[in-house]
Chain A
Amino acid sequence: MEEMSELIAKNSLFAGLPDSTIQLAVGCAQNVTFEPGARILVEGEPADTLYLLRRGRVALQVQRPSGKPLIIETIGPNSVLGWSWLVPPYRWQFDGVAIDPVGAIAIDGTCLRAKADADAVFGYELLRRISGVLLSRLQSTRVRLLDLYGHSLDD
């Protein structure tokens, strides 16, 4: 069986970090699994966990007044799920629902924040990496606003 530190080091958010840094995250981490349909994040509920997805996909969705949720993004293996634990008010903004059987490492957000506060080098590196992921998500969202699949000519 793989060690927790190896599993964490495999995720793109932590890849390439020295073992001493990975160990800081190991102290806050546990393995979790979810059945398809499980609500991993619940909109409005306290956000306290960073999930490093190992297998399966999660749909980020919003509830519509009609009752049918709208999926706005899917997150797949080796990606990171859940950012709302980073900044106040620490509440999930969307629902996160397992599409397949999901295996993930759940890292306690409060624990991780405390370690980042106590060790500025670790905190900076973590934030730098998180910013990279957030930037690429923001760029994808912007690209999506362009209606990529509309007309091919300038209308």
Chain B
Amino acid sequence: MTETEHVSPGPFVPSRYRVVDRKTENSDITTLWLEPVDRPIAPFKAGQFNMLTAFGVGEVAISISSAPGAPGAIEHTVRDVGAVSHALASSQIGDVVGLRGPFGTDWGLESLTGCNVVVVVGGIGLAPLRGAMRYLAENPAPDRKVVLRVGARLPDQIVFPEEMERWREMGVDVEVTVDVADAAWTGHVGVVTQILTELPFDGAGAVALVCGPEIMMRFSARSLIDLGVSPENIRVSLERNMQCGIALCGHCQLGPFLLCRDGPVVPYAPLAAELITEIER
């Protein structure tokens, strides 16, 4: 055994992962299936993220969109918004990307036994919740109802529509709304808060998992509170620009939180509610 084999590669050295499959979800969103080339990352929990490297371009935070413990490749769903995400979203089967992680807090699935769950997502917000949704759909509990409410700008911007259909067949109460549509769309048209005016159970005691742009999370949280969900039982996922991912650089600071460590999943009340309201004031 050589000396170098004993040296830990350190927290900034990514593991190499190969793209073993890819799916174009819509015009700017792609899901990548990744398998380790050599050193796999540690097991993850639903809601955590990895730092993904497009070699020669850069590194960005991307949530893990597959379910924890599921066999096979690990999934990430990337929206092409800039240089790094473009390079990742364009990677082809056989390409190698870098992976560091898993980082951050999770949705706390183990605490969701014996309570009803409302999942509210906007835009690509279903990606960080897809692992949790798969878990909830595939592990039904007699004393737990699961409601999924999804909002998107246009019908072709809805991600994972086939999977949502499967969850519906598995007993999840799924409703999707878009801002505007043509006549081919037979679903709901209106903002996500319009499909959050009632729940098939008492909001008190239910837990809500909310992910999407911050304005959407704020309005959704208000609707959930109107439905009786306790603000302490609303969990939101907050995103800030990440660099180190390990609470060293301060890039991801939001108020008292370093979101790479204390987030992305945080309780809505009391702090997150204030923070996201202040930012947008």
- B-binding residues in A (CB < 8 A): 57, 59-61, 68-74, 76, 97, 99, 140, 143-144, 146-154
Contact = CB atoms under 8 A, between A and B. Distances in A.
Contact of B183 (A69, A144, A147): A69
B219 A143 contact: yes
Nearest to B182: A68
Nearest to A100: B186
B212 to A, nearest CB: 6
Given A59-B189, A140-B190, A153 B239 contact: yes
B14 to A, nearest CB: 24
Contact of A152 (B182, B187, B213): B213
Contacts of A76: 188
A146 B215 contact: yes
B186 A99 contact: yes
Contacts of B265: none
B159 to A, nearest CB: 11
Contacts of A154: 279
A8 B170 CA distance: 36
Nearest to B220: A148
B157 interface: yes
B213 A144 contact: no
A57 B189 CA distance: 11
Given A59-B189, A70-B182, A71-B189, A151 B215 contact: no
B108 to A, nearest CB: 21
Contacts of B240: 153
Interface string B257-279: 00000000000000000000001
Nearest to B197: A136
B152 interface: yes
A130 B18 CA distance: 59
